[in-house]
Structures are given as C-alpha cells and as structure tokens.
Chain A
Amino acid sequence: MSITTPEPGKKINRIGLEVQPYRGGKTTLCAGCGHNAISERIIDAFFEMGVDPKRVIKLSGIGCSSKSPAYFLGGAHGFNSVHGRMPSVATGAMLANKQLVAIGVSGDGDTGAIGIGQFVHLMRRNVPVIYIIEDNGCYGLTKGQFSPTADLGSVLKNGVVNDLPPIDTCSLAIELGASFVARSFSGDKKQLLSILKAALSHRGTCMIDVISPCVTFNDHEGSTKSYAYVKDHEEPVGDISFVPFFEDISIDYEPGTATEVRMHDGSRLFLKKVAADYDPTDKSTALKLIRDSGLRGEFATGMLYIEPAKHDFTTLLNLVDEPLATLPLERVRPGRDVLDAIMESLK
C-alpha cells in the first residue's frame, strides 16, 4: 500500500495513516448492539496509538461477538476460527511471529462454556493477546439461551430464570495468571478507550470483560445485563488516565490518591483511587474488590489488576528476537555434522 498525502482536514495518526485502514466491513449485528460500540473503541484505540494494521492479527471464535473482527481493522489479517478455540489459534500465531499484535474477540458463551478450557490456559501462559469478552450473558446467534456469565436469578425474555451462579471471568483471569485484567461497559466510551490503549502498551495477556447488552434477547426488565441495569449497577474503581509513550504530558494527582503504573512500552497509566486501600497491582485486593462489589449486587469496572513486568509466554520460551515463521533455512536446519553425529550415536 502506498502512503498518500491526506486531504486537508483529514485526521492522520502518528504513523501517517488515516482512520480508513482501521475501519472494517459493515456490521451485520443488530442495531444498538453493544458489540458495535466496542468495535468503534477498538478502531479509535488502534488509530490513536498508531498501531500499523499490517502488524495486527485479529482472531475470534464463534458467536455474535466473534463476527465483529470483520467490522474493524480491515487492513489486518483476521481469523474467525472455531467455537471456544480462539485462544489456541492466537497462541500458535503469536509463537510463529511474536512481533505481531494480537487482538482476540470472544463472547461469554465462547469463553465461559465451550472455551473455558482454552481460556484458562491462555491466561495461565500469559500469551501476549488482547482478549476481549463481549459479555451479554446470553447466546445471540442461537436465539437467546443463557450463557455461564448470566447472573443468578436473571430472567430470560421468555420467563426462564437462571438458577446457576455466574462465572466471574475477571476473578478467574487474575487467579490464573493474566497480567492485565479489566472490566468495562460498552456504553462507557472513555473508560473502555483508556483500557484498550493501555492494553496496547502491555506485553502479556490483557483480559478485558466488556459488558455489552444484547438488545434483542437480553435487554428487558429482569435481565442483569440490560443497558438500564448495567448503568445503575456499574461501580468504576476509579478514573483511568493513560499517557502513551509518545506523548509528553504530566498528570498531577494529590499524593496517595492515584497509582502510577509504567507500562512495557514506556507508556504510563494513572489510576485514581476511589478506595484508599485499593491497589491494582495486588492480586488479593483485586479479587476482594470484585467479590465485595458482587455481594452488593454491583459490578466493579475499570483497571482491576495489572502486573506490568510479568514475563509473557514468548519470553518464557526464550524465543529468538525474529519471527520464527520467517527464519531462513540455515537457521532452522542443523548442518550435516549434526546428522552425522546422531547417526554415529545410533550405530
């Protein structure tokens, strides 16, 4: 692709691209679906951070959520894989080329039900993937069955009551070893954008659970994933200010009111505390916060847990700096002497 001079007035980002290659195909999801808002924030975050779409891979499993990678970053390679198995595909791709930026989009059924096994092991390995759960508590494509993140007592449109407790994907991810765990709401533009931009500065698994109401099957009275319910019960853990590495902005907080986190790429994250004892770099307080707010019938949103220095999976495996996929023959085929030595040892 050739770089053309933008028309006057058209916004370009720090790598000289217009927003066009960050956009995708026309959505086929329902009008008002929370997932579309999330796609918009993904476009904004990648554009504003100046991530080259040609270095990005976008992956998904199956379901409404998993259709959405077709609706953002048209300039990136995409892979709509099989139900619940996107984590393994993303893992393989990142091992093949660790220089890529991977964004995986899943749903609450794709993650919490059929894909819980692969989800668990993706978190455990801390594979460098931004893993977004577009969480609406139900199966949309198969017309509205409950998913494992539906709250106890939540009611389906047809009157069926959910009688099993939900899986809290954020608590699970923190327990399992994900190094960046956040929860947001598709309607909270500012918070979601900050989280996504911070995720792009992190090296490791970024698990972001985004409550994203299903306007067709789960947006009625009695649902705990409806727009109205979510707006009433969201409890942000504090303001997030993200300062990317390429911007020189100073942010002043009164001492003791904010936590500053330095990211892998030099960006900074300022997390304003709502509760004085909340420390997003401490697993126990993060888990307690999620649990306590849950017991109150609320749900905490924002940056819940972050461990910026944790080794990601490719570091753990001690991979060479270059992508494995394109190593030349002489670096992947040992010499004749090696074969001769092995043969000699077997004689």
Chain B
Amino acid sequence: MPAAGTDILIINDFSIQVATVNGSGSQTANLVLLRSIFQMGIPVSGKNLFPSNIAGLPTWYTIRANKDGYVARKKEIDLLVAMNAETAREDVLALGPGAAVVYDEPLKLDQLRQDLVFYPVPFDRIVAEVCKDAKLRRLVKNMIYDGVLSQLLNIDLAQMEHALRRQMGKKLKAIELNLAALEAGKKFAAEHLVKQDPYVVEPMDKTQGQILMEGNAAGALGCMMAGVTVVAWYPITPSSSLPETLIQYMKKYRMDKTSGKATFAIVQAEDEIAAVGMVLGAGWAGARAMTSTSGPGISLMGEFTGLSYYAEVPGVVFDIQRVGPSTGLPTRTAQGDILTVAMLSHGDTKQIMLLPATVEECYTTAMDAFDLAERFQTLIFVLSDLDLGMNTWMSNPFEYPTKPLDRGKLLDQDALQRMGEFGRYKDIDGDGITFRTIPGDGMPAYFTRGSGHNERGQYSERPDDYVNNVQRLARKFETARQYVPPPVIDQAPGARVGIIAYGTTHFAVEESRSHLANDAGLPTSYLRLRAYPFTDDLPAFIERHDRLYVVEQNRDGQMLSLMRMELDPSLTSKLRSVRHFNGLPIDARSVTDEILTQEKQAGLQGARSHAVPVGPAV
C-alpha cells in the first residue's frame, strides 16, 4: 500500500526529478514542464544536474514548485520520472516513502519497493504510434512524460502547448510532432493510470509579470547595460554561457546604427591568462573590459591579478564557481573560491568581491562591478556559481539603469592644478585613490609597472616608497567599504540567533528560517553579504546576537575564515559554521537540521560562547 493516498491532496508543493541520458534531448521537455507550471502562477525553479559529458552519461533535471515561493533545491524527491535504465534502480532506492515514480515500463521498477506509487508507461510503444519516422522518435519520446504529468498533476495541457510553441519558435513540423507526443502521453495516462499520489497543481497568481532567466544571461545583460566594450574569454563550464549570451545580445543590440559597425570587441582568447591580459590592456587604455571564468581560470589569472592590484588597472572578472580542482566535478556547484579570490595573487593583495544571490543581482552587480572597477582602478570579482549561473530562476523584471557611468578618477585640469606636477600614484584626496590618464587622452603620460614605483610612477626600490604605496593600497581597500553593496539585513524582533550567508545559499536559508521559526520556535535574524570587503553592518549585526551561523557551500567555511581574519575575536567567537559541499545546491532541510543540532549542543554547554564550529551539513 502506498503511504500516501489520494484523499489528502498536496497542492503546489512538490519536487519532480527527471532522470534521463545526457544528450537525449530531454531539455525541451523539461523546460516545457517548468514553464507550464510557472505560467499557471506557481513559483518554480529548475535545476539541471548534469555530468561532464556531451552524450551518454546520466543527467537529472529537478523542478521545484512551491506555493510559498521557496525555490531552493528540495532534498526529498516527490515525483521521479525514470527514463534512464542505468540509474533507475539507484534513483528509485533513494526515494523517500510515498514518492511517485513514472517509469519506462520495461524497466520493471515496481518490483523494487512496496512503499512507493508506480506509474508504468510504455514509452516506446506510444512514441511509435505518434512518430512514424524511427529516427525522430528519440527526440520526441521525452515529450510523452510531459503529457503523462499533465494528466497526473493536473497541469493545463494548453499551458504546455503554449510553452512548447514559445520554446520551438517557428519549427512547425517539430511542434506538430511534439504536440502529438504530449497528447498521446496525456491520453495514455487518462486511460491507464489511476492517480495514487497526493501531488497536484492548481492555478495561482504568484508569478504574474515575472520572468524566468539564468544568472549567466542576467549577468551578460548587466554587462551590456554597463557599457562594456572589450570582452575576452576562454570557454569553461559553468561560465561559458555568460559570454556566449553576451555575444548574442551585443550582436543584436550594440551594432552602431549609422555605420553598422560594432561598438564592442569580443575575443575568444587562447587561454584565461590571455583573456585577463586583454582585459588589463583594454582597461588600462580606458575601456570597460571584462572576462568570465570559473575556478581553474581564476588560478591562471593569478599573476595578472597581482599586476592589476599593484599597477592599478581596472577590469571585471566573473567567477562562476564550481567544485574543484581543474577537472574536479566541473558541472557541480560550490562556493569554493572565496578565499582564493579574496587573496588572489602573490604579495600583499586583497581583492574586491561582489556576491550576487539572484538573477536580478547578477544584472545589477554587473553594472556595479564596472563602476567599482573604474572607481578603484583594480579588478573587481563577481562571484556567482553554477547553480545561479546555469539554472533557471524566477525574478521580477529588471529595471532600466538610471545612474550615469562612474568612470572614476581620470585626470583633468582641476586635479592637475591641485596636484602641481602629475603623479600617477599621488593621493591628493586622502582616500587612497589616485588619478590616472589613458593613452591618447592628451594628458601627461606615465609608465605602468608592477615593480616598485614611487608616487610619480617612477621606478623605485626604496623601502619608504614601497611601504607608502602598499599602505595607500590598503587605504584604498578601506575606502571600498563605503562603495560596495551593503548586506541585506532582516532583523527578527527578539532573536538571539543570527544567520549569515551569501550567494545562492540565500534560498535555502530563507526557507530554513521559516522552518526554524515555525517548526522549532527559533526566530533568527539574517544578514546576507553582498560584498567583500565587509561593511560595518557585519560587526554590528554580530554584536546584536548571541550565536551566529555562517552558512556556505564549501568544506572549510571560507567566508567564516575571512571574518576571523578581519574582525575582533570577541565577535568571531560567536560564529559557527554550517557547510554544504556535495556538489548539489544547498537545501533548506540540511541547514535547519545542522543549526538545530548545534543549538542543542549550545544549550547543553550553557552560556559558554567558545563553541568550536562542529561538523558540516552534507
């Protein structure tokens, strides 16, 4: 007997996992499924868990629908669509009791478990009936499970058709074939399957006016709106779709109307070293320049990053983080580059990092990054991750930027007068930021070098010149605290416990906070970091709470380590660590369980505040 009967319905609150073979064309069916639920007004997210492979290896697509708007990965799978013979057994055995399984009939999965709901579907037989051309069957077979789910979950078939048509554009023959498969799937389910699971979709109005977008596309759009002119990049998962989307946007919207020529240069470089080298060259010559990469590329960019820091050359680097090392788990998500990037390069370096959490922030942060790069004359790192960059998220539509571009301190006559003689590295404002000139601007030239230089930019190995320069760079970093996006704080009245997180961890934290408050009676305040260096909001927030959980997606609590380096021990002793690092996006249940475990220990230890962070939540 299935654990759940149809007498209790669970409406608009479930997760679907579709297990297929990579390269089998399931992406269309999955996006149609996601979009049709979205069109019915229910908050959704779609996550692709895919292997480092072109075709043949297993891949999973997870859709979460949640009436309350929680769209982090759900740890439990409520409905499995098992299309991949290779993983079907393991996938079924991993399910929780009461879950439902739509499966390819010959796999005979119903013999594996007694506590699940099974829906066998003869996919090959159905597809053979609707698709006469045997070569095309593989491509439309997946659409049949959409049809089956339409029937089982009560998803409006018209919404699926709408989603399909927008997905396929003008490919009429393909639309016709896929529609036939969709209808055949629904018809089969209606005639042969008896609904036994509790999950259903009912129309809502929570997605009105919203968009569906991937973070990398949003970042690309932000770069275009920021007026980027030089882009150099090297292909790497999960970053490539950012520059690739940018190329599409720029070719469409940034060709000069009168001359028909490009107002931008985009170069696929020979490697990441060359990519960031081009960014530095372009930034030095006055352009808004960027690159996008992932962890391994960041490592290769290390030397140039140091040059950028010391020689003070602007540029923007997107790091779409993934699991390390170079080969590592290249198609799995992580927040593992925090410490590497914060300290990137040799010598005394500190880098400015921006930490978007949502697709909308990918868009706005891109624009902030270019302004900050020119203001601070250094590389600005935007740390996204695979989950944000490559997965599909709901968002409010983006707002058109109204702020003018901040081109930073470019030498003009006024500054020159105040300075007397031009000194490239002379700090006349006391904020650590000096005036630069760009080649061709007719202003005094200077010689740019990473090696020792004095205020006038002349070669110098004098101890006092070196110390003055690196002290000023430290002062500049202090100034940045006033310019970077401040954290977003939600102070819960009377809460003694605080949570600190950043990036995509946000979604699991938001949901976990509702678990903690509603199910465990533990109200929490929340600070979401949006940049490094930290602003004064962080120590003030820590001050206001007894215990704080820093939640992040890496093994060693990298952001927590940065806080330990910067903040007073009386504050950092209050910090505990919650970590998730198995390559899957973090989920709320893991966060909640780990916080409650640690809270219990804190309770046993009484008021002692020297608790060492305990184990990770995996």
Contact = CB atoms under 8 A, between A and B. Distances in A.
A28 B605 CA distance: 67
Contacts of B276: 88
B280 A92 contact: yes
A80 to B, nearest CB: 4
Contact of A338 (B253, B263, B273): B253
B262 interface: yes
Contacts of A319: 261-262, 265
A325 B287 contact: yes
Nearest to A77: B439
Nearest to B255: A318
Contacts of B448: 77-80
Contact of A332 (B254, B280, B284): B254
Interface stretch (B148-156, B393-401, B590-598): B393-401
B304 interface: yes
Contacts of A85: 273-274, 277, 303-304
Interface string A312-347: 001001111101111101011110101110110011
A91 interface: yes
Contact of A325 (B249, B438, B446): B438
Contacts of A51: none
Q: Which 4 A-B pairs have the closest CB atoms?
A: A92-B281, A88-B277, A325-B286, A332-B227
Interface stretch (A3-11, A41-49, A93-101, A223-231): A93-101
28 contacts: A70-B447, A78-B445, A81-B277, A87-B274, A88-B232, A88-B273, A88-B274, A89-B277, A92-B282, A93-B285, A95-B287, A96-B282, A96-B284, A97-B439, A318-B262, A320-B259, A320-B261, A320-B262, A324-B229, A324-B230, A324-B264, A325-B287, A327-B263, A333-B401, A334-B225, A339-B398, A343-B211, A343-B398
Interface stretch (A117-125, A210-218, A272-280): A117-125
B262 A57 contact: no
Nearest to A73: B445
Contacts of B451: 80
B450 interface: yes
A95 B253 contact: no
B65 interface: no
Contact of A77 (B209, B228, B249, B446): B446
Task: Give the interface size bracket for A toward B.
Answer: 35 or more
Nearest to B405: A329
A290 interface: no
A54 B226 CA distance: 28
Interface in A293-319: 314, 317-319
A76 B459 contact: no
Nearest to B306: A82
Interface of A: 53-57, 59, 69-70, 74-82, 85, 87-97, 99-100, 117-118, 120-121, 125, 314, 317-321, 323-327, 329, 331-334, 336, 338-340, 342-343, 346-347
Contacts of A81: 277, 280, 307, 450
A87 to B, nearest CB: 8
A144 B400 CA distance: 59
B269 interface: yes
Contact of B450 (A53, A59, A82, A100): A82
Interface in B239-292: 249, 253-254, 256, 259, 261-267, 269-271, 273-289
A346 to B, nearest CB: 4
